[in-house]
Protein backbone atom coordinates (compact mmCIF):
# COMPACT_ATOMS: atom_id res chain seq x y z
CA UNK A 1 0.00 0.00 0.00
CA UNK A 2 1.17 3.51 -0.76
CA UNK A 3 1.24 6.11 2.00
CA UNK A 4 -0.70 9.28 1.30
CA UNK A 5 1.14 12.62 1.29
CA UNK A 6 1.73 13.82 4.84
CA UNK A 7 0.07 10.68 6.22
CA UNK A 8 1.35 8.02 8.53
CA UNK A 9 2.06 4.58 7.12
CA UNK A 10 2.25 2.10 9.97
CA UNK A 11 4.22 -1.09 9.88
CA UNK A 12 1.58 -3.73 10.61
CA UNK A 13 -2.16 -4.11 10.70
CA UNK A 14 -4.33 -4.11 13.76
CA UNK A 15 -7.93 -4.88 14.59
CA UNK A 16 -9.75 -2.09 16.38
CA UNK A 17 -12.78 -2.15 18.63
CA UNK A 18 -15.27 0.55 17.71
CA UNK A 19 -17.25 2.46 20.30
CA UNK A 20 -20.92 3.06 19.51
CA UNK A 21 -21.23 6.78 20.22
CA UNK A 22 -19.32 9.96 19.46
CA UNK A 23 -20.81 11.90 22.38
CA UNK A 24 -18.45 13.13 25.06
CA UNK A 25 -19.16 13.33 28.78
CA UNK A 26 -16.83 15.21 31.11
CA UNK A 27 -17.35 12.76 33.96
CA UNK A 28 -16.59 9.63 31.95
CA UNK A 29 -13.96 10.92 29.52
CA UNK A 30 -11.14 9.21 31.37
CA UNK A 31 -13.15 5.98 31.64
CA UNK A 32 -13.42 5.93 27.84
CA UNK A 33 -9.69 5.51 27.45
CA UNK A 34 -9.62 1.79 28.16
CA UNK A 35 -12.09 1.06 25.33
CA UNK A 36 -9.61 1.28 22.51
CA UNK A 37 -8.14 -1.57 20.52
CA UNK A 38 -6.92 -5.15 20.27
CA UNK A 39 -3.70 -5.70 18.37
CA UNK A 40 -3.08 -8.47 15.88
CA UNK A 41 0.00 -6.85 14.40
CA UNK A 42 2.87 -7.90 16.66
CA UNK A 43 5.36 -5.72 18.45
CA UNK A 44 6.89 -2.73 16.69
CA UNK A 45 10.67 -2.50 16.77
CA UNK A 46 10.80 -5.80 18.60
CA UNK A 47 8.68 -4.46 21.42
CA UNK A 48 11.50 -2.40 22.86
CA UNK A 49 9.40 0.73 23.28
CA UNK A 50 5.94 -0.52 24.10
CA UNK A 51 4.39 -2.68 26.81
CA UNK A 52 2.06 -5.47 25.71
CA UNK A 53 -1.36 -4.15 24.76
CA UNK A 54 -0.14 -0.64 23.93
CA UNK A 55 0.79 -0.90 20.26
CA UNK A 56 -2.36 -1.36 18.21
CA UNK A 57 -3.02 2.21 17.06
CA UNK A 58 0.60 2.43 16.00
CA UNK A 59 0.23 -0.75 13.98
CA UNK A 60 -2.64 0.52 11.86
CA UNK A 61 -2.63 1.91 8.35
CA UNK A 62 -5.82 3.80 7.51
CA UNK A 63 -6.62 3.41 3.83
CA UNK A 64 -7.69 6.63 2.12
CA UNK A 65 -7.05 8.75 5.21
CA UNK A 66 -4.03 10.55 6.63
CA UNK A 67 -3.20 10.16 10.31
CA UNK A 68 -0.83 12.63 11.97
CA UNK A 69 0.72 11.98 15.39
CA UNK A 70 0.56 15.01 17.69
CA UNK A 71 3.05 16.21 20.28
CA UNK A 72 1.99 19.10 22.54
CA UNK A 73 4.56 21.06 24.52
CA UNK A 74 4.68 22.91 27.85
CA UNK A 75 8.08 24.08 28.98
CA UNK A 76 10.25 21.54 27.21
CA UNK A 77 8.00 18.64 28.14
CA UNK A 78 5.59 16.74 25.94
CA UNK A 79 2.13 16.84 27.51
CA UNK A 80 -1.51 16.17 26.79
CA UNK A 81 -4.17 18.49 28.15
CA UNK A 82 -7.85 17.73 28.55
CA UNK A 83 -9.92 20.21 26.52
CA UNK A 84 -6.96 22.58 26.30
CA UNK A 85 -7.10 23.40 30.01
CA UNK A 86 -3.63 24.07 31.38
CA UNK A 87 -4.51 22.76 34.83
CA UNK A 88 -5.66 19.39 33.45
CA UNK A 89 -2.41 17.77 32.33
CA UNK A 90 -2.89 14.09 31.46
CA UNK A 91 0.82 13.27 31.26
CA UNK A 92 4.22 14.96 31.10
CA UNK A 93 7.41 13.55 29.55
CA UNK A 94 10.75 15.03 28.40
CA UNK A 95 10.11 16.43 24.92
CA UNK A 96 13.14 15.07 23.10
CA UNK A 97 12.58 11.53 24.38
CA UNK A 98 8.87 11.54 23.62
CA UNK A 99 9.30 12.82 20.06
CA UNK A 100 11.98 10.21 19.42
CA UNK A 101 9.66 7.49 20.70
CA UNK A 102 6.74 8.66 18.55
CA UNK A 103 8.89 8.87 15.43
CA UNK A 104 10.47 5.45 16.04
CA UNK A 105 7.03 3.90 16.41
CA UNK A 106 5.24 5.59 13.51
CA UNK A 107 7.93 6.85 11.13
CA UNK A 108 5.56 9.66 10.15
CA UNK A 109 6.01 11.70 6.97
CA UNK A 110 4.66 14.63 9.05
CA UNK A 111 4.70 15.26 12.81
CA UNK A 112 2.26 17.75 14.37
CA UNK A 113 4.18 19.78 16.99
CA UNK A 114 2.24 22.29 19.10
CA UNK A 115 3.81 24.85 21.45
CA UNK A 116 0.95 25.26 23.93
CA UNK A 117 2.98 27.68 26.00
CA UNK A 118 3.74 29.72 22.91
CA UNK A 119 0.06 29.80 21.95
CA UNK A 120 -0.87 31.10 25.39
CA UNK A 121 1.96 33.63 25.59
CA UNK A 122 1.93 34.79 21.97
CA UNK A 123 5.25 33.57 20.58
CA UNK A 124 6.30 30.18 19.26
CA UNK A 125 9.55 29.27 21.03
CA UNK A 126 12.54 28.46 18.87
CA UNK A 127 13.69 25.83 21.39
CA UNK A 128 10.58 23.75 20.60
CA UNK A 129 11.38 23.58 16.90
CA UNK A 130 15.06 22.98 17.59
CA UNK A 131 14.19 20.06 19.87
CA UNK A 132 11.83 18.66 17.26
CA UNK A 133 14.45 18.83 14.55
CA UNK A 134 17.02 17.21 16.83
CA UNK A 135 14.74 14.42 18.05
CA UNK A 136 13.26 13.65 14.63
CA UNK A 137 15.96 14.25 12.02
CA UNK A 138 14.55 13.96 8.52
CA UNK A 139 10.92 14.02 9.67
CA UNK A 140 8.90 16.99 8.34
CA UNK A 141 7.36 19.08 11.12
CA UNK A 142 4.07 20.94 11.14
CA UNK A 143 4.32 23.54 13.92
CA UNK A 144 1.70 25.55 15.75
CA UNK A 145 1.30 27.85 18.72
CA UNK A 146 1.83 31.58 19.02
CA UNK A 147 2.75 32.26 15.39
CA UNK A 148 1.53 35.84 15.16
CA UNK A 149 3.19 37.30 12.04
CA UNK A 150 4.17 36.36 8.52
CA UNK A 151 7.80 37.08 9.39
CA UNK A 152 7.72 34.73 12.40
CA UNK A 153 6.18 32.00 10.24
CA UNK A 154 8.77 32.49 7.51
CA UNK A 155 11.55 32.22 10.08
CA UNK A 156 10.18 28.88 11.30
CA UNK A 157 10.06 27.60 7.72
CA UNK A 158 13.60 28.81 7.12
CA UNK A 159 14.74 27.05 10.29
CA UNK A 160 13.31 23.74 9.15
CA UNK A 161 9.54 23.51 9.65
CA UNK A 162 7.56 22.05 6.74
CA UNK A 163 4.20 23.70 7.50
CA UNK A 164 3.01 26.33 9.97
CA UNK A 165 -0.42 26.63 11.54
CA UNK A 166 -1.77 30.12 12.20
CA UNK A 167 -4.96 30.79 14.12
CA UNK A 168 -5.21 33.94 16.25
CA UNK A 169 -3.27 36.21 13.87
CA UNK A 170 -5.10 34.94 10.79
CA UNK A 171 -8.32 36.72 11.75
CA UNK A 172 -7.04 39.86 13.48
CA UNK A 173 -7.68 42.21 10.54
CA UNK A 174 -9.65 41.96 7.28
CA UNK A 175 -6.38 41.57 5.35
CA UNK A 176 -4.53 39.20 7.71
CA UNK A 177 -5.41 35.98 5.92
CA UNK A 178 -4.45 37.31 2.50
CA UNK A 179 -1.11 38.46 3.89
CA UNK A 180 -0.36 35.04 5.36
CA UNK A 181 -1.37 33.29 2.12
CA UNK A 182 0.80 35.64 0.06
CA UNK A 183 3.77 35.15 2.38
CA UNK A 184 3.53 31.42 3.01
CA UNK A 185 1.60 29.80 0.16
CA UNK A 186 0.86 26.10 0.60
CA UNK A 187 3.04 25.97 3.73
CA UNK A 188 0.24 27.78 5.58
CA UNK A 189 -2.44 25.89 7.49
CA UNK A 190 -5.19 27.96 9.10
CA UNK A 191 -6.51 26.85 12.48
CA UNK A 192 -10.23 26.89 13.17
CA UNK A 193 -10.34 26.13 16.89
CA UNK A 194 -14.01 25.87 17.75
CA UNK A 195 -15.81 26.24 21.06
CA UNK A 196 -19.63 26.45 21.07
CA UNK A 197 -19.73 27.51 17.45
CA UNK A 198 -17.19 30.33 17.79
CA UNK A 199 -13.49 30.58 16.95
CA UNK A 200 -11.23 30.44 20.00
CA UNK A 201 -7.94 32.33 20.05
CA UNK A 202 -4.78 32.88 22.12
CA UNK A 203 -4.17 29.29 23.10
CA UNK A 204 -7.92 28.72 23.48
CA UNK A 205 -7.94 31.12 26.42
CA UNK A 206 -10.24 33.56 24.59
CA UNK A 207 -13.25 33.19 22.31
CA UNK A 208 -13.91 35.59 19.45
CA UNK A 209 -17.23 36.66 17.97
CA UNK A 210 -16.31 34.95 14.69
CA UNK A 211 -18.57 32.03 13.76
CA UNK A 212 -17.34 28.91 12.00
CA UNK A 213 -19.09 29.88 8.77
CA UNK A 214 -17.66 33.40 8.86
CA UNK A 215 -14.14 32.08 9.39
CA UNK A 216 -14.62 29.52 6.65
CA UNK A 217 -15.81 32.18 4.22
CA UNK A 218 -12.71 34.25 4.94
CA UNK A 219 -10.54 31.21 4.26
CA UNK A 220 -12.24 30.61 0.92
CA UNK A 221 -11.90 34.26 -0.10
CA UNK A 222 -8.18 34.23 0.71
CA UNK A 223 -7.53 30.92 -1.11
CA UNK A 224 -6.27 29.16 2.01
CA UNK A 225 -4.76 25.81 1.05
CA UNK A 226 -5.61 23.81 4.18
CA UNK A 227 -7.60 24.08 7.42
CA UNK A 228 -6.76 22.50 10.76
CA UNK A 229 -10.05 22.23 12.66
CA UNK A 230 -10.24 21.38 16.36
CA UNK A 231 -13.35 20.67 18.38
CA UNK A 232 -12.01 22.00 21.67
CA UNK A 233 -14.59 20.24 23.84
CA UNK A 234 -13.42 16.89 22.44
CA UNK A 235 -9.67 17.47 22.67
CA UNK A 236 -7.91 15.06 25.00
CA UNK A 237 -11.16 13.44 26.10
CA UNK A 238 -11.20 10.19 24.09
CA UNK A 239 -14.84 11.06 23.44
CA UNK A 240 -14.83 10.77 19.66
CA UNK A 241 -14.68 13.53 17.02
CA UNK A 242 -17.39 16.14 16.45
CA UNK A 243 -18.53 14.81 13.10
CA UNK A 244 -21.20 17.47 12.57
CA UNK A 245 -18.60 20.22 12.93
CA UNK A 246 -16.16 18.62 10.52
CA UNK A 247 -18.88 17.93 7.98
CA UNK A 248 -19.84 21.61 8.10
CA UNK A 249 -16.26 22.75 7.59
CA UNK A 250 -15.57 20.23 4.83
CA UNK A 251 -18.45 21.68 2.82
CA UNK A 252 -16.30 24.76 2.31
CA UNK A 253 -14.23 22.87 -0.28
CA UNK A 254 -10.86 23.32 1.47
CA UNK A 255 -8.88 20.27 2.66
CA UNK A 256 -9.53 19.72 6.37
CA UNK A 257 -7.38 18.14 9.06
CA UNK A 258 -9.55 17.15 12.03
CA UNK A 259 -8.41 17.18 15.66
CA UNK A 260 -10.10 16.43 18.94
CA UNK A 261 -11.21 13.12 20.42
CA UNK A 262 -9.89 10.79 17.70
CA UNK A 263 -9.61 7.27 19.16
CA UNK A 264 -9.64 4.45 16.62
CA UNK A 265 -10.44 3.25 13.12
CA UNK A 266 -14.15 3.84 13.55
CA UNK A 267 -13.41 7.53 14.08
CA UNK A 268 -10.98 7.62 11.16
CA UNK A 269 -13.54 6.04 8.85
CA UNK A 270 -16.24 8.44 10.04
CA UNK A 271 -14.01 11.46 9.45
CA UNK A 272 -13.13 10.21 5.98
CA UNK A 273 -16.83 9.79 5.24
CA UNK A 274 -17.61 13.43 6.02
CA UNK A 275 -14.73 14.58 3.78
CA UNK A 276 -11.67 15.16 5.99
CA UNK A 277 -8.28 14.55 4.39
CA UNK A 278 -6.52 13.81 7.68
CA UNK A 279 -6.88 13.41 11.42
CA UNK A 280 -4.60 14.24 14.33
CA UNK A 281 -4.17 11.74 17.15
CA UNK A 282 -2.64 12.67 20.49
CA UNK A 283 -4.20 11.06 23.55
CA UNK A 284 -4.91 7.70 21.91
CA UNK A 285 -1.35 7.70 20.64
CA UNK A 286 -0.03 8.26 24.16
CA UNK A 287 -2.11 5.35 25.39
CA UNK A 288 -0.70 3.08 22.72
CA UNK A 289 2.81 4.17 23.62
CA UNK A 290 2.13 3.17 27.22
CA UNK A 291 2.71 6.74 28.40
CA UNK A 292 -0.90 7.33 29.46
CA UNK A 293 -3.01 4.75 31.24
CA UNK A 294 -6.16 3.55 29.53
- 176-184 and 150-159 are packed helices; what angle lies between their axes, rounded to 10 degrees? 20
- CA dihedral (166, 231, 91, 65) positive or negative: negative
The residue-averaged pLDDT of 31-39 equals 35
Q: What does the buried/exposed string (b/e) look like for 7-37 if buried means 16 or more CB atoms within 10 Å of the residue's CB? A: bbbbbbebebeebeebebeeeebbebbeebb
Query: pLDDT value at position 106?
Result: 87
* Cβ atoms of residues 105 and 50 within 8 Å: yes
Query: pLDDT value at position 69?
Result: 95
* Cβ atoms of residues 237 and 29 within 8 Å: yes
Query: pLDDT value at position 64?
Result: 61
pLDDT band, residue 15 (cuts 50/70/90): very low
Active site residues: 72, 193
210-222: pLDDT as tens digits: 999 999 999 999 9
- Predicted model pTM: 0.79
Q: For the chain, which residues make up each domain, given as ranges? A: 15-288
Strand partners, 93: 78
pLDDT band, residue 66 (cuts 50/70/90): confident
Closest CA to 104 of 92, 96, 113: 96
Query: pLDDT value at position 265?
Result: 86
Neighbouring CB atoms inside 10 A of 80's CB total 23
Q: 155: part of which helix (H) or strand (E)?
A: helix 150-159
Distance CA 42, CA 55 (A): 8
97-154: pLDDT as tens digits: 999 999 999 888 799 999 999 999 999 999 999 999 999 999 999 999 999 999 999 9
CATH superfamily of 15-288: Aldolase class I (3.20.20.70)
Q: Maximum Cα–Cα distance for the chain, whole Å?
A: 53
Amino acid sequence: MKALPHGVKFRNRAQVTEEPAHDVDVDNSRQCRHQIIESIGGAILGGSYFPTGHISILACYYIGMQLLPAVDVLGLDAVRLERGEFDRVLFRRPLHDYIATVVAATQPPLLHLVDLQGARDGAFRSAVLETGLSAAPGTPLQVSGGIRSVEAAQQLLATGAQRVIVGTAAFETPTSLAEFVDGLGDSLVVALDVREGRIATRGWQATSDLTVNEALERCRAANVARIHATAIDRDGTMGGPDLALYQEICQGGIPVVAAGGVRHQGDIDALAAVGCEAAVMGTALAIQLGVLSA
